[in-house]
Structure 1
Amino acid sequence: MLVQTLHCVSILVLSFQVAPFTLLPSPVPQAAFIQAMSVQIYFNTLVDKISQDPDFLEEALSSTIQADDFIAKLFDIYRKVKQEGRTQSIVMGLNRSDCMVGQREDGMSSLKQMEINTIAAGGFGVPDRLPVVHRHMLKSVGLLEECKCIQDTKRTPRMSAALAKAWELYGQSKAVILFLVGDIQISKLSHCTIERELWNRNIPVIRGKFEEVARRGSLDGDKRLFVDGLEVAVVYYGYVPNNYTQQAWDACLLMERSLAVKCPDISTHLAGTKKVQQVLAGPGVLEKFFPDQPQVVEQIRATFAGLYTLDVVRD
């Protein structure tokens, strides 16, 4: 009697996307690096000042909201929250400046800011591990002295500490931090490293999509935000979907009206738009936010690249 054994084999095919990085580090002139580090605090201050200036935001974005439906809907939420009165006085920002290093005619390096991100600012977590990769690659090709120039980055602990501080200021030990995510989350590994840091601080973290917040979120009489019965202390916008559904807009308004600390809040989100960045490059605009601080104005303006409006069409 012959017995035939059948083996069932199941194959699981996974698809993933690797965050882009270079095997070898890109050298940056020391002067440009120091310049980028020193000017960032002024950019952070500038964003905060803009977010608190409704007249400036209204004027700067007046033409954009006529042509851009996405910005128009964001601004509509901004207006509704402003008319209702801001519930939470605590504002948290995690901003990222994207810069390039060029060369002037005199041969010196020139730092230019391409954009500033005030919402869903990636580049945390995973990049903290890149120095190890770069050191290994430099050693493997015999560049031992260059290997010593690679500096460690500690963005994740600092970012997590900022979120933890916002959670602490909220003042409810049982409240959670909500990470807004999407179906395809390219920053998931970065988020996981931040979440681990927060859990190590005994701060609970939950993840949710806009649509889930719209369906399962609510405000109580004090405008405290609850999702699945859990009080939310901090909302971290870790992801912005390309196409907002109506549920996403409903969730956005719900969260903006709530007592939860937003990272960022709607006004800071608008302050980081490209149109605002272009308006800031105009003559005399920076001076409005930094009166009697010409050195600060000079340092910020030195990093501006050319930005041109598409609002005006000429023959």
Structure 2
Amino acid sequence: MAVSLLEQWPPVLSKVQLESLTLQATTYALSHGLVYLPVATVQPPAPTSTIHAPLALFPSPFPRRLFQHAQRLQRIYNVLYARVAMDEEFLDRVMGEVEGVGKVDEFTGQLWRRWRKLRDENVPRPLQLGLFRSDYLAHAPGNGEPTSLKQVEFNTISSSFGALSERSANLHRYLFKSTQYYEVSSHLREENFPSNNTVAGLAEGLAEAHKAYGVPNARILFVVQENERNVFDQRWIEYELLEKHGIHVVRQTFRQLGQSVTVDSATRVLRITTPSGLLSDGSKSVEISTVYFRAGYTPTDYPTPEFYDTRYLLESSRAIQCPSIQLQLAGGKKVQQVLTNPGVLERFLGDSSRWGTEVFTPAELDELRSSWMDMWGLDEDVPNANPTSGPANECSGVRRARELSAKLVLKPQREGGGNNVYKEAIPAFLDSLPVQEREAWIAMELIAAPEGLGNYLVRAGGGTEGAVKAEVISELGIFGWALFGGADGRVKEKEIGWLLRTKGKDSNEGGVAAGFSVLDSVLLIDD
């Protein structure tokens, strides 16, 4: 990424231009569904108001070659994580309650035990669907090294913001078309605004699963969180399913499902009871073809064991799960780390005795590996750890984390933002972490995001003077879907779209819903 461009970004605007752009951006967002529900302890059953989602006023520069690299990698990642989810022995060893993370992490253990129960009861497993998002940062280590693409994480459950990110890209296209951005930068040209059709891609994946289920008048179940503010990101997918594919959606929380779900013991058909009078044919329940989880990725979604049992009941049906428990487990940070160990990637992508001709070349595996930072488990023995960096009885994985803490992030098996431990907070955290819980954490070298990039960040309530200029870091997410399983284990997959989230440079976390980031879009540059 060219330093000269970073030093000029965002371009200089007059006060009048800045206020005008902010007004146009916020009114466009409100007019086109780039919105959230306002903060409330309890969301009303029928919303009466919305606020625009946090947004960036300019698109953010991102190297064209790295953007295209991320798009190429998505096909390989789609296949990789589908195959991980189909490898019971591997997941039991890495994430299970006997050998793996599940024995020290209660949330992981609860999920694994339900999956184990399904297998013990010989419940037939249907196809599985993954709606994925692989997140990256541009890595600029300096010392003359070129900027490269490095993966932050791979998401296998509730991979959100596809719909709102598409609208954020449309917002920046609108600002360009309506104002030409006052011609303040020669980089702001139409060919540098990549198209974004993520909603159609996500709906396509769900529609493929629905079609494979084989009952046209069945419905897709969206499992959603209580008091969800990011409801419109989900609704746009629902509308696309109905308008383009003729598929209806049912939305329910885990709490509601505890009362409404039934699974026929003979046919394993999943049915959801709906309030009387809602269905035009007079029936009181609908058959479900696909269960799409926009909840279930955090322990707070399961306040009592009964909520885990509801998850088990859904999984025991013949409905296609998105994701299944095993695919959710495959997205654990421990799996991300173990995949970097020698020979593991070849197990899933390079072994022709297991996968026939559906394997990848050594060059493709090297390209995938090039997207990884250094990672290790805190419970593991690792080379090059300083023996004096901690107590003598500490394993070398912890000692190395102490020694390199200023350049590290520690990650647990959690999604949703706000769970990681960074840099100077690491030594004290390691002091407080019980020895038996180390296996649930990985250490990862921090990605060195390019310095000097700025933008105007706009959050609701600031008015036309609410655009705040800040030095920022932008995180690219690439979406994909994979439909897999069955007798042959084949994977049908596709790369389908992207998002860009931007945060202030001093913010470690990156979640938009958690309040750390704003929605942005890509401005392609040739670095």
Same fold flag (TM > 0.5): yes
Q: SS state of the match for residue 95, structure 1? A: strand
Q: 1:98 to 1:14 in 2, by over 3 A?
A: closer
Partner residue in 1 for 2:164:
126
Contact kept, 8 Å, 2:126 with 2:319, in 1: the verdict is: no
Q: SS state of the match for residue 60, structure 2? A: coil
Answering whether residue 328 of structure 2 is matched by residue 286 of structure 1, we say no
Q: Among residues 42, 55, 73, which one is paired with 1:21 in the alignment? A: 55
**Whole-Å Cα distance in 2 between the matches of residues 99 and 14 of structure 1?**
29
Contact kept, 8 Å, 1:210 with 1:247, in 2: the verdict is: no
**Whole-Å Cα distance in 1 between the matches of residues 52 and 295 of structure 2?**
17
- Scaled by the length of structure 1, the TM-score of the pair is 0.90
Contact kept, 8 Å, 1:97 with 1:117, in 2: the verdict is: yes
Say which is worse superposed, 183-192 or 155-164, in terms of deviation. Answer: 183-192
CA deviation vs aligned residue, 1:10-60 (integer Å, no higher than 9, x gap): xxx954675443221121111111110001111111101111111111111
Answering whether residue 173 of structure 2 is matched by residue 135 of structure 1, we say yes
Q: SS state of the match for residue 111, structure 2? A: helix
Q: 1:174 to 1:60 in 2, by over 3 A?
A: same
**Percentage identity across paired residues of the two chains:** 30
Quote the offset at 1:294 in angstroms.
1.3
Bigger RCO of structures 1 and 2 (CA < 8 A, at least 6 apart): 2
Partner residue in 2 for 1:259:
318
Answering whether residue 188 of structure 2 is matched by residue 146 of structure 1, we say yes
Quote the offset at 1:82 in angstroms.
1.9
**Whole-Å Cα distance in 1 between the matches of residues 59 and 86 of structure 2?**
39
Q: SS state of the match for residue 100, structure 1? A: strand
**Whole-Å Cα distance in 1 between the matches of residues 320 and 106 of structure 2?**
26
Partner residue in 2 for 1:3:
none
Answering whether residue 374 of structure 2 is matched by residue 306 of structure 1, we say yes
Q: Among residues 180, 185, 189, which one is paired with 2:228 in the alignment? A: 185
**Whole-Å Cα distance in 2 between the matches of residues 69 and 25 of structure 1?**
41
**Whole-Å Cα distance in 1 between the matches of residues 51 and 136 of structure 2?**
24
Q: Among residues 114, 118, 133, which one is paired with 1:77 in the alignment? A: 114
Q: SS state of the match for residue 376, structure 2? A: coil
Contact kept, 8 Å, 1:17 with 1:186, in 2: the verdict is: no
Count of equivalent residues: 303
Q: Among residues 65, 71, 82, which one is paired with 1:37 in the alignment? A: 71
Answering whether residue 197 of structure 2 is matched by residue 159 of structure 1, we say no
Q: SS state of the match for residue 65, structure 1? A: helix
Superposition pairs of residues 40-59 of structure 1, within 5 angstroms: 40-59=74-93
Return the letter of the residue paired with 2:271. F
Quote the offset at 1:291 in angstroms.
2.4
CA deviation vs aligned residue, 1:114-170 (integer Å, no higher than 9, x gap): 100000110211111112322344523423651411122001011111111211111
Q: SS state of the match for residue 194, structure 2? A: coil
CA deviation vs aligned residue, 1:205-252 (integer Å, no higher than 9, x gap): 010011211211111121111110211111000123541122321110
Contact kept, 8 Å, 1:175 with 1:231, in 2: the verdict is: yes
Partner residue in 2 for 1:110:
148
Answering whether residue 238 of structure 2 is matched by residue 170 of structure 1, we say no
Return the letter of the residue paired with 1:176. R
Return the letter of the residue paired with 1:129. R
CA deviation vs aligned residue, 1:249-273 (integer Å, no higher than 9, x gap): 1110001111001111111111110
RMSD, aligned α-carbons: 2.0
Q: Which structure 2 segments of 5+ residues have no match? A: 1-36, 40-49, 274-284, 352-360, 381-393, 400-527
Return the letter of the residue paired with 1:204. H
Answering whether residue 253 of structure 2 is matched by residue 209 of structure 1, we say yes
Q: Which runs of 4+ in 1 moved over 6 A?
A: none
**Whole-Å Cα distance in 2 between the matches of residues 280 and 85 of structure 1?**
29
**Whole-Å Cα distance in 2 between the matches of residues 297 and 234 of structure 1?**
32
Answering whether residue 328 of structure 2 is matched by residue 276 of structure 1, we say no
**Whole-Å Cα distance in 1 between the matches of residues 219 and 324 of structure 2?**
17
Contact kept, 8 Å, 1:216 with 1:227, in 2: the verdict is: yes
Say which is worse superposed, 19-28 or 196-205, in terms of deviation. Answer: 19-28
**Whole-Å Cα distance in 2 between the matches of residues 186 and 151 of structure 1?**
28
Q: Which structure: greater strand fraction? A: 2
**Whole-Å Cα distance in 2 between the matches of residues 132 and 53 of structure 1?**
40
Say which is worse superposed, 149-158 or 241-250, in terms of deviation. Answer: 241-250
Q: Which structure: greater helix fraction? A: 1
Return the letter of the residue paired with 1:120. S
Q: Which structure 1 segments of 5+ residues have no match? A: 1-12
Q: Among residues 209, 222, 225, which one is paired with 2:270 in the alignment? A: 225
**Whole-Å Cα distance in 2 between the matches of residues 279 and 249 of structure 1?**
27
Q: SS state of the match for residue 94, structure 1? A: strand
Q: 1:97 to 1:214 in 2, by over 3 A?
A: same
**Whole-Å Cα distance in 2 between the matches of residues 288 and 294 of structure 1?**
12
